[in-house]
Amino acid sequence: DAGVTQSPTHLIKTRGQQVTLRCSPKSGHDTVSWYQQALGQGPQFIFQYYEEEERQRGNFPDRFSGHQFPNYSSELNVNALLLGDSALYLCASSFFLQGSGEKLLFGSGTQLSVL
Amino acid sequence: GEDVEQSLFLSVREGDSSVINCTYTDSSSTYLYWYKQEPGAGLQLLTYIFSNMDMKQDQRLTVLLNKKDKHLSLRIADTQTGDSAIYFCAERGGGADGLTFGKGTHLIIQP
């Protein structure tokens, strides 16, 4: 089992451009969450997708959008890139078991640099 | 909003115990987690504890939760060089808007 896979691993964009990051969840997981980790900071929650719909959203502008496909894979799209969007973007998959806690399995991330 | 605080650095000698501390503000936290991040890697879930528990042990790891003081700790027994990493405390609040992470504690192992 490959676990959570993200692509690409590294990406360089310029201000104003748009970017799409991709994530394939662990086999058997049905929920995908996206986090942004700036240098020296902890990850910050962007949003979560379940059954192809955005279920929860953190404090991020509408420039950040996503999608979940029927096979549970997911995309994160960021429009009108700003220098401050430079960060490691982490995808996490999970299968929520009531009473057992939601155990997030993280991928290795996509390092986005905006110049 | 919710906040999670951790010390930035902890230095211990190989073979000693490491204790990493964390405080949080959300009194409606349901689960609290410890994640480990090695350079260039994603986050690895080490352990988690439900908010109605006060202790959980898993091999070399012991988690203590003081819900009254909103204080969480992770003890690593017999610390090894492979334990060198950044350790993140995280909580899931009652509002369940994803996990709220601290800034991470860099664990430095001295030979």
- Return the higher-pLDDT residue of A95 and A50: A50
- B104 contacts in A (CB within 8 Å)? 41-42
| DSSP-derived secondary structure for chain B | ---EEE-SEEEEETTS-EEEEEEE--TT--EEEEEEE-TT--EEEEEEEETT-SEEEETTEEEEEETTTTEEEEEESS--GGG-EEEEEEEE-TT--SEEE---EEEEEE-
Question: How many C-beta atoms lie closer than 10 Å to residue B84's C-beta?
Answer: 15
Paired sense of beta strands A10-13 and A19-24, if any: unpaired
Angstrom distance (rounded) from CA B32 to CA B88: 11
Q: Structure tokens of A109?
A: 């991330």
Q: Which residues of chain A neighbour B1 with C-beta distances below 8 Å?
A: 59
Of all residues in chain A, the percent with pLDDT exceeding 90 is 82
Q: What is the pLDDT of residue A84?
A: 97
Mutate which: A45, A104, A111, vs B, most B CBs within 10 A: A104
Q: What is the mean pLDDT of residues A96-111?
A: 78
What would the mean pLDDT of A89-110 be, rounded to a whole number? 82
Query: pLDDT at residue A101 above 80?
Result: no
Q: How many CB pairs under 8 A join A and B?
A: 59
pLDDT band of residue B43 (cuts 50, 70, 90) is very high
Interface test with B, best of A29, A45, A57, A76 (most B CBs within 10 A): A45
CB A20 within 8 A of CB A75: yes
Q: B85-104 pLDDT, tens per residue? A: 999 999 987 666 689 999 99
Express each pLDDT in A9-63 by its tens digit. 999 999 999 999 999 999 989 999 999 999 999 999 999 999 899 988 999 999 9
User: Residue A4: its chain B contacts at CB < 8 A?
Assistant: 42
Closest Cβ–Cβ partner in B33, B40, B103 for A41? B103
Give the span between the Cα atoms of A39 and A41, in whole angstroms: 6
